[in-house]
Every structure is written in structure tokens, then in C-alpha cells.
Amino acid sequence: MQENSTWTEQAEAILQRTWSELQSCAAAILDDNISNFPVFILSRQPVALGENISDRFTEDDLDGYYITASTAEDLIKARIIEAEKAKMFVASYKSPRTHACVLAIGDDGGGFVYFPYR
């Protein structure tokens, strides 16, 4: 990854290489009634939340990052999404059939972003 790129550019580059598998994973979360709000966590370190799905990809795909499949409910329970802001988060959530909701955590910051599946 280019050292001068922002975390959103880094996340987008990784997601472009992994979108098909992420879309399948989101569909499984939805179809198995696990949650209506799948969230993928993209981070430099493994996180103890959700299911690490990094082993589904090559090292070149991930460029040193980890991908974890989780849900908004898990993030609320872990207080990553504040309880007071949960309704606002859910109201702004884009369709999980057309967009990946990603909590991208990079070297220079992080946040929630939505990326359309291609």
C-alpha cells in the first residue's frame, strides 16, 4: 500500500480485491437471520469481535490488513457504536445487498464507510 494514501483509499483498494467474498458473507449473515446489519472490520491488528475471515483471501489481497465479519449489534454491545447513536447508525445504514458497511481502522485514523459491491 502506498505510504501517502489515506485509510479510505487503502480500504477501497482492499475491498476492490475482496468484494465478491464480502458480498457472499453479508448475504449469509442476512439469509441466516444473524443480523440485518452486517459490518466488516478492516484493521491492521486482529480484533476479538465477530469472525475473522482473513483466511479467505491472499496476503496480496489484504496488504497486511485483517478482515472481520461482524454486526452492528456486536459493535453496539462492545460500545464501538455508542448506544445513544445506535438509532442514527441504523437509520443511515445502506442496503447490505448493494453496499459493504466497513469499519476501516488505518494507521492514520478510521471510521465507518460504505462501499458499493461491484
Please list the residues that pair with 52 across neighbouring strands: 68
Which of 90, 88, 115 has its CA nearest to residue 104?
115
Global pTM reads 0.89
Question: Tens of pLDDT along 26-83?
Answer: 999 999 999 999 999 999 889 889 999 999 998 888 888 899 999 999 999 999 999 9
For residue 5, the model assigns a pLDDT of 61
Q: Which positions ≥6 away from 34 have C-beta within 8 Å? A: 28, 71
Please list the residues that pair with 116 across neighbouring strands: 99
Q: What is the mean pLDDT of residues 100-116?
A: 84
Rounded CA gap, 89 and 68, in Å? Answer: 19
